[in-house]
């Protein structure tokens, strides 16, 4: 399957059409942004790592009954996926307090929750992805009630599968963001990526940050952290 015209360029990925209208090719870049695009940079090798990690985790989820857009890894940076209409909701699951949760509620990072939390934000860069609840999403007709129920159930299931898998590799899954899409028949599937760009990963022993917070907060060792996650999950 070959790339045809570019359909879209996002902050970290480009999307190309293919000869098959039901499929497209995602190409992962090394570009990094944070704070809604205010901070920009390059993380050398990130595109390769995020492509391979996402595909490994998508495969794991499919083996565990979660439908995804994944079809086939084509190269280091390129993956064939099913073409979907993205539901404009970002779903965030949290197991441990961090980031905007810690800031919003005035608590320290690292509080381990008894049960995971879920929140939605409206995927809209101009508005800065505002937080919303499922009633707001319904009012704005971003998704149907049935779709929201499916998205919630898949998100918690994904959390359980990923949490257990990552722990086997010495990684604590602190929080993460998911996006879902609709296939032409209306089926909801997991889309987008699952990587250190979209998850918080902490070393289980030292709680060292192994994710994009190293870039956001200028902690140094950004490339090494991405490499380390790759090494633990996939090997060198």
Report 56-115 residues binding ligand UDP (CB under 6 A): 90, 92, 98-101
Assign residue 192 a region (left: φ > 0; alpha: ψ between -120 and 50; beta: otherwise). Answer: left
Decide: is 177 part of the binding site for ligand UDP (CB under 6 A).
yes
Neighbours of 120 (CB within 10 A): 25
The CA distance from 68 to 189, in Å, is 5
Decide: is 180 part of the binding site for ligand UDP (CB under 6 A).
no
Q: Which stretch binds ligand UDP (CB under 6 A): 22-30, 47-55, 192-200, 219-227?
A: 192-200
Nearer to ligand UDP, 18 or 159 (CB): 159
The CA distance from 89 to 123, in Å, is 5
Closest separation in Å from C-beta 62 to ligand UDP:
21
The CA distance from 82 to 179, in Å, is 14
CA-based torsion, 177, 169, 99, 49: positive or negative: negative
- Ordered DSSP codes for 26-63: EEE-SEEEETTTTEEEE-TTHHHHHHHHHHHHHHHHHH
Decide: is 226 part of the binding site for ligand UDP (CB under 6 A).
no
Phi, psi torsion values for 38, nearest 5 degrees = -70, -35
Decide: is 179 part of the binding site for ligand UDP (CB under 6 A).
no
Closest separation in Å from C-beta 201 to ligand UDP:
9
Decide: is 200 part of the binding site for ligand UDP (CB under 6 A).
yes
Report 122-141 residues binding ligand UDP (CB under 6 A): 129
The residue with its CB nearest to ligand UDP is 99
Which residues sit at the interface with ligand UDP, rule CB under 6 A? 90, 92, 98-101, 129, 175-177, 198-200, 212
């Amino acid at each position: 399957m070959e790339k045809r015209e570019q359909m879209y360029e996002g902050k970290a990925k480009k999307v190309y059409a293919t000869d098959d209208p039901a499929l497209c090719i995602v190409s992962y870049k090394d570009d990094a942004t944070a704070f809604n695009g205010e901070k920009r940079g390059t993380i050398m090798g990130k595109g390769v790592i995020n492509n391979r990690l996402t595909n490994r985790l998508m495969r794991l989820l499919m083996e565990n009954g979660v439908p995804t857009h994944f079809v086939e890894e084509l190269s280091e940076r390129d993956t064939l996926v099913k073409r979907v209409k993205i539901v404009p909701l970002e779903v965030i699951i949290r197991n441990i307090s961090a980031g905007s949760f810690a800031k919003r509620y005035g608590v320290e990072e690292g509080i381990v929750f008894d049960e995971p939390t879920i929140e939605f934000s409206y995927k809209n860069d101009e508005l800065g992805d505002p937080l919303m609840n499922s009633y707001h999403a319904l009012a704005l007709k971003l998704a149907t009630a049935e779709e929201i129920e499916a998205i919630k159930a898949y998100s918690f299931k994904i959390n359980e599968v990923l949490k257990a898998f990552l722990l086997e590799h010495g990684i604590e899954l602190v929080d993460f963001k998911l996006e879902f899409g609709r296939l032409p028949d209306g089926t909801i599937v997991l889309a987008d990526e699952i990587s250190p760009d979209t998850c918080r990963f902490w070393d289980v022993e030292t709680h060292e940050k192994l994710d994009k917070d190293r870039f956001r907060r200028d902690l140094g060792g950004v490339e090494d952290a991405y490499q380390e996650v790759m090494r633990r999950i996939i090997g060198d």
